[in-house]
């Protein structure tokens, strides 16, 4: 049943119940009595942070902590992980409740991001860090020195408009949903009356950066 997913992950589970739990949304669990993926998500988030931090520390030995933190924030951001979840087709394996199924929960960035982290947590419990690390690293987009200036998308976008108009874009909170421990924010970036981009994230800061990156892409600046 899960062989296509294991092939996509590049990892074979020894304890299949861990993978099943990672793919169980909280809306499905109450009706079956099975555990949901929230605890695995909590663990997987920590494993992801450790693996990415170690990787960046070794790859960019001369970068200061602030730059490393910005790269890491982008690599583990909700949009990045949600895109990965779609590429892995995690939405097709996710178990959700009947009511949630009607709301399109499978395609929500916040849900896909959580499932990716839960799967990483499951791999860690199943095979340890030595198993989780290569899987996570195989999913990371490659970054090189030439890409570093656009990591802080808000600053890049602001400088673009300041140089040309002496004005700066404005950011507005367009939406907020989810429980307190798992919020999803939607931020829009505008220049005067023109919508430049929209972004999503687990914090307002992350969503604003995502909106700025979308604006840069829409303006063909990246």
Q: What angle do CA 108, 208, 100 make, to 5 degrees?
A: 15
Indicate which residue of 41, 91, 114, 117 is catalytic.
117
> In the annotation, is 152 catalytic?
no
What are the phi and psi torsion angles at 43 (to 5°)?
Answer: -70, -45
Secondary structure (3-state) at 199: strand
Separation of first and last alpha carbons in the chain:
40
Does the annotation count 146 as an active-site position?
A: no
C-alpha span between 86 and 106 (Å, rounded): 10
Q: Retrieve residue 76's tokens.
A: 């583990």
Buried-state track 51-78, b at ≥16 Cβ within 10 A, e below 16 = bbbebbeeebeebeeeebebbbbbbbbb
Catalytic one of 20, 45, 91, 188: 45
**42/40 Cα distance (integer angstroms):** 5
Provide CB contacts within 8 A for 155, sequence distance 6+: none
Can you list the positions of beta strands (E) in the chain?
Answer: 170-177, 184-191, 194-201
How far is C-alpha 180 from the geometric centre of its chain's CA atoms?
Answer: 18
Nearest alpha carbon to residue 120 among 140, 100, 104, 105: 140
CA 210/CA 74 separation, integer angstroms:
9
Which residues form the catalytic set? Answer: 45, 117
């Amino acid at each position: 049943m899960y062989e296509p997913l294991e092939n996509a992950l590049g990892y074979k589970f020894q304890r299949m119940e861990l993978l099943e739990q990672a793919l169980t949304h909280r809306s499905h669990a109450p009706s079956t009595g099975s555990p949901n993926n929230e605890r695995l998500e909590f663990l997987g988030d920590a494993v992801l942070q450790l693996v990415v931090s170690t990787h960046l520390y070794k790859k960019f030995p001369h970068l200061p902590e602030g730059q490393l933190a910005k790269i890491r924030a982008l690599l583990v951001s909700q949009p990045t992980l949600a895109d990965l979840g779609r590429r892995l087709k995690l939405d097709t394996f996710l178990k959700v409740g009947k009511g949630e199924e009607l709301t399109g929960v499978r395609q929500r960035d916040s849900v896909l991001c959580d499932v990716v982290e839960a799967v990483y947590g499951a791999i860690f419990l199943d095979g340890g860090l030595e198993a989780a690390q290569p899987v996570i690293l195989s999913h990371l987009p490659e970054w090189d020195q030439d890409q570093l200036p656009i990591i802080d998308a808000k600053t890049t976008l602001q400088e673009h408009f300041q140089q040309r108009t002496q004005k700066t874009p404005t950011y507005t909170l367009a939406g907020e949903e989810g429980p307190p421990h798992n919020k999803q924010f939607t931020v829009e970036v505008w220049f005067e009356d023109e919508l430049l981009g929209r972004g999503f994230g687990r914090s307002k800061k992350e969503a604003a950066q995502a909106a700025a990156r979308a604006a840069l892409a829409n303006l063909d600046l990246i």
